[in-house]
Amino acid sequence: MKARSATAWALAAAAAATVASLAAPAAGRDIKVINTAQPDATSIESLVASLTAGCTGDQDKMIALWAYLTRNDFYHWAEPREGPEPTTELGVVIDPIAAVNVHGMLICYQVCHVLANLAEAAGIPARTRSVPGHQLMEAFYDGKWHLFDATVDCQAYYVADDGKTVIGLDELGANGPKYLNDPKFPSRPFYQFDRFGGKFWPWESRKFCLEKFYNPQAAKAYNTFAPCIARGHRIQLDLRRGETLIRRFTNEGKWHCTPELYARWKNDPTQRWIDQGPHDPRRPGVTYANGELIYAPDWSAEANYLDGVYDSRNVALTGGRAALAGAGAGHVTFRVQTPYLIAGNPGKLDAAGDSSDGAIVEARFFRKDVSAANAIDISTDNGITWKRVWSDDGTGERAVRLDLTNHVEGRYGYLLKVSLGGDAGGDAWLAGLRMRHSLFLSPVPLPAVRAGANTFTCSVDEPADLVVIRPDLSDAQAHKRFFQEIAGLRYSPNYPEHLQPAGAEGHAVIEIAPPPGSKVSHVTVHGSFSASTSAAGQEKAEILYATAPEGPWRRVWASQFNQTNQKWRWDRSVDFDVQPVAERCYVKFHLRKQRRLTLNMTRIHARCVRASRPLAAGQVTVTHTWTGGGDGPETAQRVPIDFTGGPTTYTFNVPGTDIRNRAISIEVANDKP
């Protein structure tokens, strides 16, 4: 099956070539602010490097990785889910950077895979284990497997009598009372909520865990699973001229919950706090946070307009207005991109589309008469499909305010296209564009001020766009639009049997089309496969890439399915550089089946580089806001940044005690006219 005709792809490529020159001056950039006393959690590479710096061996590394998840204010709550299939297991967030930066919620069968991801990124093999009603992970070093449980409630690792060696699950199951009731060398923390005795969740109690999990009878049911390795998310802050990102350390009631998930959690007795939103009921102050992404370009300077244009056709800036460059139809497209989820006021959680104030777009429009046209469309699939959200039904100039929350919440961005039409350049125009988005995030990794001396580094990476592709394989029709080609695979709507070879083998190809003017430089491909556990060694899957539809294809991953995994699911992510950087990249999933092999979910994160107009010294400002003495008066430290000489380091002192962070904002100023 061809998902798109050759003609359609050719037209799309021609359109991209036409608009590329118009977007060339854009200046997207990855701005990073880090407190040097905190781990750098913006990518899995930086997080693992920060946490394991100075460690002398694999066990030291594992304790450091485990400690990050257990000693910080993450919390056990309804498991975080997102993406096109959030109501199945495939929607559970196991990418460490998304888990700790966006959701901050770590339930057992999520956190075991998050820790396994971190371990393998540190070069330590990992696996996950199940006990009756619980999941945890083991790391392999010094010739043995060693147990680390990072679940917020029953967090622990268990040390042998030598006071040095972390034991494995099988030894713990055979000697549970010894290690739980009177441990000689308890980890820190060690069942920190045992004092509640199972009041909130039963597994916070050592007594419960000993009776249910760690005893010889339960040990007969222990299973071993391959870890789900899912990566690709990163905290990439590409801010344009006139754009400000405000990240708060507290929440304003904005969070995202689908009606389907609400129904699921409402009937779960362990998640009876669902109406209150994500939090730790034992520690009311431990909860999620909110932010705002505000875009207010000043179009009196052309650089500010061009900095925000994703693509354009037959539209030009004239007198501070985006107007038709000539007779006929035209459009200008703007992109919203954030590493945090867009979320609004939830309203009635059991009612679809009952959210508000999460995505507000304001602008002034003009059309001369009814023969001219103004309209707004949005796309949540990188421009493959569009949805009309507004069209002008009047004439003359008018102010428009749209609340797009119900169209875009639960996503990391979208495209907004303004279409204009008329017989002359002045027949239709757009001006005064303003966009405000509310964000859902975790406060734990944010660069916070502390009492005493604070040192921050602020750096800017090469200009880059991030393209994220998440095909909805649960939708029998909608999934087709994401693939350039599907050959030899049959589709099933059943979970988890989505794309599988109709015969012995088949493949599916996804095209990565970067924004106009960009080239693909680095790609992370994630695949979730179902393979027969009884014949896993015979099932074969490959991930390949090419820079042209016809190839040549380069293999970047080959499966190593084996029969030791006691579950159908196999998740792997692969990173690769595109050499040389290319205007298009194609990813192929090739499946060879003996008994059962399916592709159930894929996510692609592509980093795309492009030229940009450099920022002037002081055009970026970082502002830290906090209170001293608890809820005392707010203090703000405003720091202009000069990137012309490379990364900037700045230091300031914070007097007092009980420092409470309020916000950190990064503002990119407009160019002056």
Domain spans of the chain? Answer: 43-225, 464-609
Burial classification of residue 285, based on how many CB atoms lie within 10 Å of its CB (0-12 exposed, 13-18 middle, 19 or more buried): exposed
Helices 44-52, 108-121: axis angle to 10 degrees equals 80
The secondary structure of the chain in percent helix, strand, coil, rounded to multiples of 5, reads 20, 40, 40
Say which CATH topology domain 43-225 has: C8orf32 fold (3.10.620)
Across 211-215, 460-464, 524-528, least confident range: 460-464
Tokens standing for 250?
């507290």
Euclidean distance between CA atoms 210 and 160, whole angstroms = 17
pLDDT of residue 21 exceeding 80: no
Indicate the pLDDT class of residue 25, thresholds 50, 70 and 90.
very low
Euclidean distance between CA atoms 16 and 44, whole angstroms = 32
Return the closest-CA partner of residue 100 out of 528, 444, 515. Answer: 444
pLDDT of residue 41 exceeding 50: yes
pLDDT of residue 26 exceeding 70: no
Across 11-25, 150-164, 193-207, 606-620, least confident range: 11-25
Q: What is the pLDDT of residue 533?
A: 85
Phi (first) and psi of residue 426, to 5 degrees: -90, 5
Q: How far from 326 is each of 14, 270, 314, CA to CA, in Å?
A: 20, 62, 6
Tokens 């004439």: give the residue.
395
Question: What residues have CB less than 8 Å from 577, skipping those under 6 apart?
Answer: 521, 522
Tokens 């689908």: give the residue.
258
CA-CA-CA-CA dihedral for 492, 493, 498, 503, to nearest 10: 0
What is the pairing mode between strands 505-512 and 499-501?
unpaired
Is the Cβ–Cβ distance between 592 and 540 less than 8 Å? yes
Determine the number of helices (DSSP H) and then strands (DSSP E) in the chain: 12, 36
Q: What is the pLDDT of residue 535?
A: 76
pLDDT digits (tens, 9 = 90+) for 240-279: 999 999 999 999 999 999 898 899 888 888 888 899 899 9
Q: Which helix (H) or strand (E) holds 59?
A: helix 58-70
Is the Cβ–Cβ distance between 127 and 225 less than 8 Å? yes
Q: How far from 561 is each of 304, 556, 558, 590, CA to CA, in Å?
A: 51, 16, 9, 15
Q: How far from 41 is each of 94, 96, 125, 638, CA to CA, in Å?
A: 15, 9, 21, 23
Euclidean distance between CA atoms 294 and 131, whole angstroms = 47
Is the Cβ–Cβ distance between 520 and 535 less than 8 Å? no
As a whole number, mean pLDDT of residues 336-356 equals 95
pLDDT of residue 7 exceeding 60: no
Mean pLDDT of all residues belonging to the chain: 92
Beginning with the edge strand found earlier in the chain, give each strand of the sheet holding 452-460 in spatial order: 31-35, 452-460, 648-654
Q: What is the pLDDT of residue 534?
A: 82
Euclidean distance between CA atoms 558 and 539, whole angstroms = 11
Is the Cβ–Cβ distance between 213 and 174 less than 8 Å? no
CATH of 464-609, one of 2.60.120.200, 2.40.30.10, 3.40.30.10, 3.40.50.920: 2.60.120.200
Q: What is the pLDDT of residue 564?
A: 87
pLDDT of residue 24 exceeding 50: no
Looking at per-residue confidence, does 310 or 4 come out higher? Answer: 310
Is the CA virtual torsion 413, 231, 602, 107 positive or negative? negative
As a whole number, mean pLDDT of residues 496-505 equals 95
Is the Cβ–Cβ distance between 245 and 668 less than 8 Å? no
Q: What is the pLDDT of residue 630?
A: 75
How many of the other CB atoms lie within 10 Å of CB of 391?
11
Q: What is the pLDDT of residue 269?
A: 86
Q: How many residues does the chain have?
A: 673
pLDDT digits (tens, 9 = 90+) for 633-652: 899 999 999 888 789 999 99
Q: What is the pLDDT of residue 27?
A: 44
SS (H, E, C) 140-169: EECCEEEEEECCCCCCECCECCCCCCECCH
pLDDT of residue 179 exceeding 70: yes
Q: What is the pLDDT of residue 30?
A: 83
Indicate the pLDDT class of residue 558, thresholds 50, 70 and 90.
very high
Euclidean distance between CA atoms 3 and 471, whole angstroms = 13
pLDDT of residue 194 exceeding 90: yes
How many of the other CB atoms lie within 10 Å of CB of 393?
9
pLDDT of residue 4 exceeding 50: no
Is the Cβ–Cβ distance between 593 and 637 less than 8 Å? no
pLDDT digits (tens, 9 = 90+) for 393-402: 999 999 999 9
How many of the other CB atoms lie within 10 Å of CB of 643?
19
AA letter at 558: A
As a whole number, mean pLDDT of residues 176-186 equals 96
Distance of CA 618 to the CA centre of its chain: 30
Kindly state the percentage of the chain with pLDDT values over 70. 96
Return the closest-CA partner of residue 106 out of 47, 152, 137. Answer: 152
Q: What is the pLDDT of residue 42?
A: 97
DSSP-derived 3-state class of residue 92 = strand
Euclidean distance between CA atoms 191 and 566, whole angstroms = 28
